[in-house]
Amino acid sequence: MDKVITIGRQYGSGGREIGEKIAKRYGIPFYDNELITRAAKESGFAEESFERAEDKATNSLLYSLAMGINVYGNQDFGFSGLSLDDRIFLAQSDVIRKVAEEGPCVIVGRCADYVLKERDNVFNIFVRASLDYRLQRAIHNYQVNEKKAAEIIMKNDKRRGNYYNYHVGEKWLNLNNYDLVIRSDVSGIDNAVNCICTYLGD
């Protein structure tokens, strides 16, 4: 397996778990929060700043405004005129390009498909699932009622969608962005992994 595999995913669809299992099967690195940590260390930004960047994207308009005016400007990373959030995105992108350069790996989220679009060994997956399946997972994982679970899912999907739309300039749910889109609640997690590995020919 010589591919860099990126995974986008709806909240609660099990995309992260699928990514971990694929990485384990191929014996290749898996990047999610580790990626953030590494980026934070390398760029000198505090880790909390990185987490804040994606959290902000809950409302498309507010997010755009925030991206425009949120220029703290105390540190200069050579991207003059860019907001802190934009600079964090660029620093993250640098890390994504670096780990992709190092060899095959799985990268979840962070618009990695877009960041790596010039490379030709990249394979882009999106994992989706029915709302009902995702509700049950959220209720179970967070011990909350259905209403609260629905709120969590909607907030997180909005955040991810706006983050993608803002940075990539393409619709998050446009199937043209991905090589394989898979619905995990129909296949189950393990069979989704089998399906992806079959597709990759390994």
Binding site for a copy of itself (CB under 8 A): 123, 126, 128, 173-176, 178-183, 186-187, 191-192, 194-195, 198-199, 201
**Nearest approach, Cβ of 61 to a copy of itself (angstroms)?**
22
| CB-count burial class (<10 Å; 0-12, 13-18, 19+) for 201 | exposed
**Nearest approach, Cβ of 194 to a copy of itself (angstroms)?**
5
Tell me the C-alpha distance between 62 and 134, whole Å: 26
Give the residue with the Cβ less far from a copy of itself, 70 or 194.
Answer: 194
Give the residue with the Cβ less far from a copy of itself, 82 or 180.
Answer: 180
**Nearest approach, Cβ of 174 to a copy of itself (angstroms)?**
5
**Nearest approach, Cβ of 141 to a copy of itself (angstroms)?**
22
H/E stretch holding 122 reads strand 122-128
Token pair recorded at residue 64:
């755009």
Tell me the C-alpha distance between 159 and 55, whole Å: 7
Give the residue with the Cβ less far from a copy of itself, 90 or 195.
Answer: 195
**Nearest approach, Cβ of 114 to a copy of itself (angstroms)?**
16
Tell me the C-alpha distance between 34 and 56, whole Å: 20
Give the residue with the Cβ less far from a copy of itself, 60 or 174.
Answer: 174
**Nearest approach, Cβ of 200 to a copy of itself (angstroms)?**
8
Q: Whose CA is closest to 184, among 132, 136, 139, 129?
A: 129
Give the residue with the Cβ less far from a copy of itself, 90 or 181.
Answer: 181
Give the residue with the Cβ less far from a copy of itself, 10 or 93.
Answer: 10
Under DSSP, the state recorded for 79 is: -
Query: Cβ neighbours of residue 63 under 8 Å, at least 6 residues apart?
Result: 56, 57, 162, 163, 166
Query: Cβ neighbours of residue 47 under 8 Å, at least 6 residues apart?
Result: 36, 37, 40
